[in-house]
Amino acid sequence: MHIHILGICGTFMGGIAQIATALGHRVTGSDAGVYPPMSTQLEAAGIDLMEGWDPAHLQPEPDMVVVGNALSRGNPMVEYILDRGLPYTSGPQWLAEHVLQGRWVLAVAGTHGKTTTASMLAWILEHAGMTPGFLIGGVPRNFGHSARLGETPFFVVEADEYDTAFFDKRSKFVHYHPRTLVMNNLEFDHADIFDNLAQIQRQFHHLVRTVPGSGLIIVPADDRNLNKVLEMGCWTPVETFSATGEAAWRASDATADGSAFDVFCVGKEAGRLEWSLTGEHNVNNALAALAAARHAGVPVQTGIEALARFKNVKRRMELRGEVDDIRVFDDFAHHPTAIQTTLAGLRNQVGDKRIIAILEPRSNTMRMGIHADSLAASLEKADQVLLFAPETLDWDAETVMAPLGDRCQVLATTDAIIRRLRTEVQPGDTLLVMSNGGFEGIHERILKMLEERT
């Protein structure tokens, strides 16, 4: 079968392309931006990529068009598909019908930590010899790619609450029908498609409704928003986790930075995890992954051994380089809660050394200013903040960041950010770059500047 994918260079759709190729289909695809790293992965898999939205890409006509959720009515290829009556589907629906049917699906949902927890879970299953399939919205460094078909019934999927496609406004995750479900946390996000938290909670409850009674739902012990979801109705056993409080899965005797802690499962000590990750949020992610893996048959001690060898996902506190005792980290944080927890973990790691946070408020929700009231407070643990504020922002960055005083500089271009760093950064500093996009390649440009300065 010939499958053409629209929006193929997104992490999710690129994963669909790789899995479809593994199933023996001929896969082609179009996107507005065809660039590494996804373009490199796809081309290596023999997938023909086309730049732009020219309907000629659909000649000869494919057997199926898989439409990414970034495309909407008015797009030339979408209009061509509808006018010609070509068969089309969404990525989540295609995955559900052609890959997930009959498999043991382990889904990881939540506002924060989905990619990291799903990567941990896939690695635990891999370490246990279960060779799972997976589709993750990032690149787990233990695997080096974001998706694979797998060789056993087990399949790990990052379960996103964003909408499915222009013709299907349900959240992606309602298609997956997991047997094991992790819900890490729940906050208001995606203000471009949800009007309020209650709408997101309703979508999460649609997901809860799909988990069988013989399955398992894993949730934090103290998340009020998720508790309200479960109060709408739950027909599946639930296990809780907590890095700091009482729960079925809990941590004890943790180091200040979270790099080591004892794991307790249903009141019994299961072992001590010493690993390369830090932060209370990652302790929670680990507990959730261990619980999900145990439900699939992995002994807790085996899971702990796997996480001791876990390499964090690309763009999750990824060290991009070090010059003159100045470290440059890249992180995907783009919500005040994620920003705050990332900085807290880094502060515990570096002690009283200077942290310079460089933030691009790029997500739709951030650009709309939905979280403006909590943004400055989320950056409190940074010694200095450089905020990228192009004209496309819908809010006054100077006013929003005023609580930080002269610790924060609002800059309109990435060139201005780099010029500022050139004069201010000192040996021993840690630079934390936070964005859910490419940020105009600022990481490599900072490292180049530092090398030229020495």
Residue 68 lies in a domain: yes
215 and 120 co-located in one domain: yes
CATH number assigned to the domain comprising residue 47: 3.40.50.720
CATH number assigned to the domain comprising residue 448: 3.90.190.20
Helix axes 114-127, 300-307, angle to 10 degrees: 110
80 and 130 co-located in one domain: no
80 and 227 co-located in one domain: no
CB neighbour class for 327 (10 Å; exposed up to 12, middle 13-18, buried from 19): middle
79 and 107 co-located in one domain: no
85 and 117 co-located in one domain: no
Q: How many angstroms separate the Cα of 201 from the Cα of each of 111, 224, 289?
A: 11, 11, 22
287 and 372 co-located in one domain: no
What span, in angstroms and rounded, lies between the C-alpha atoms of 6 and 65? 7
Region of 289 (left: φ > 0; alpha: ψ -120 to 50; beta: rest) is: alpha
106 and 85 co-located in one domain: no
Report the pLDDT value the prediction gives residue 335, as an integer from 0 to 100: 79
Residue 113 lies in a domain: yes
Residue 96 lies in a domain: no
Q: Of 63, 90, 117, which residue sits at a domain end?
A: 90
Residue 344 lies in a domain: yes
Residue 74 lies in a domain: yes
Contact between 312 and 141 (Cβ < 8 Å): yes
Q: Extract the tokens encoding 248.
A: 């079925």
**What are the DSSP calls for 311-325, one per residue?**
-PBTTSSEEEEEETT
The end-to-end CA distance of the chain, in Å, is: 56
Task: Tell me the pairing of strands 180-183 and 430-434.
Answer: unpaired
Contact between 149 and 133 (Cβ < 8 Å): yes
Report the pLDDT value the prediction gives residue 389, as an integer from 0 to 100: 87
DSSP 225: H
Q: Is 32 helix (H, G, I), strand (E, B) or coil?
A: coil
Contact between 111 and 335 (Cβ < 8 Å): yes
Report the pLDDT value the prediction gives residue 338, as an integer from 0 to 100: 82
> Could you read off the pLDDT tens digit of each residue along the chain, which spans 454 residues?
999 999 998 889 999 999 999 999 999 999 997 766 677 778 888 898 999 999 999 999 999 999 999 999 999 999 999 999 999 999 999 999 999 999 999 999 998 889 999 999 999 999 999 999 999 988 888 888 889 999 999 999 999 998 999 999 999 999 999 999 999 999 877 667 778 899 999 999 999 999 999 999 999 999 999 999 999 999 999 999 999 999 999 999 999 888 999 999 988 999 999 998 888 889 999 999 999 999 999 999 999 999 999 987 777 778 888 898 999 999 877 778 888 888 988 888 888 999 999 999 877 677 776 777 888 899 999 999 999 988 877 788 888 888 899 999 988 899 999 999 998 999 999 999 988 777 888 988 999 999 887 7
pTM for the whole thing? 0.80
Q: Of 90, 114, 137, which residue sits at a domain end?
A: 90
What span, in angstroms and rounded, lies between the C-alpha atoms of 86 and 110? 34
Residue 313 lies in a domain: no
Range of the domain at 50: 2-90
Tally of structural domains, the chain? 3
171 and 214 co-located in one domain: yes
51 and 167 co-located in one domain: no
Three-state SS sequence of 379-443: CCCCCEEEEECCCCCCCCHHHHCHHHHHHEEEECCHHHHHHHHHHHCCCCCEEEEECCCCHHHHH
Residue 64 lies in a domain: yes
Residue 343 lies in a domain: yes
Q: In what order do the strands lie in the sheet with 48-51?
A: 48-51, 26-31, 2-6, 64-67, 88-90
What span, in angstroms and rounded, lies between the C-alpha atoms of 335 and 59? 41
CATH number assigned to the domain comprising residue 148: 3.40.1190.10
80 and 108 co-located in one domain: no
303 and 368 co-located in one domain: no
What span, in angstroms and rounded, lies between the C-alpha atoms of 184 and 174? 16
35 and 115 co-located in one domain: no
**What are the DSSP calls for 125-188, one per residue?**
HHHTT---EEE-SS-BTTTSSSEE--SSSEEEEE---SEEETTEEEEGGGGT--SEEEE-----
Q: Of 307, 330, 361, which residue sits at a domain end?
A: 307
